Amino acid sequence: MISNSAKYAIKAVIYLGLHSSKSNKILTREMFEEIRVSESYLAKILQQLSRSGIISSTKGRNGGFYLSAENTEHSLMDIVRVIDGDKSIASCILGINNCDMDHPCPLHDLVGKGRTEFNSTLENTNLKDIIFKLQGKDVYYPL
């Protein structure tokens, strides 16, 4: 339902939420192995998230990425939109361009309700809630 890039982005943002602060910024090289993606690819994802205001960053000495209190107000869907775009969120699971209620694809009725619920969950789950639930727990970042 979401791309691997969006999954990596969500994992990276959660990682930042658990391990960073304005006074403790994280460099890409400190986290890419935990996220299980190449350092250069993670850097591109983090730059995209930073440009969109999902995460914060500082350049130069003592620079890096972090999550501010303001950043934690974003939803998981905000991350998915930045990485995958709005079009992919509503796109047909089979990739059919004109799939809709009037012209459904073979899987439309099977996945429609689940997809709606999944998207609603992403929209209604903010980073602050996830980070609060994971504080002090041993977190594993599989894909």
The CATH number given to whatever domain includes residue 26 is: 1.10.10.10
Domain-embedded: residue 139: no
Domain-embedded: residue 9: yes
Domain-embedded: residue 50: yes
Average pLDDT, the chain: 88
- Mean pLDDT on 35-41: 93
| Structure confidence by residue, pLDDT tens digits, 45-98 | 999 999 999 999 999 888 999 999 999 999 999 999 999 998 777 777 777 788
- Whether the CA torsion 117, 123, 127, 128 is positive or negative: it is negative
Name the domain count of the chain: 1
- Mean pLDDT on 110-115: 76
Per-residue confidence (pLDDT) for residue 142, from 0 to 100: 57
Per-residue confidence (pLDDT) for residue 10, from 0 to 100: 95
This prediction's pTM: 0.85
State the number of CA atoms in the 13 A half-sphere of 51 facing the CB: 8
Full residue range of the structural domain in which residue 130 is found? 4-87+126-134
Contact 18, 131 (CB under 8 A): yes
Q: How far apart are CA 17 and CA 68, in angstroms?
A: 8
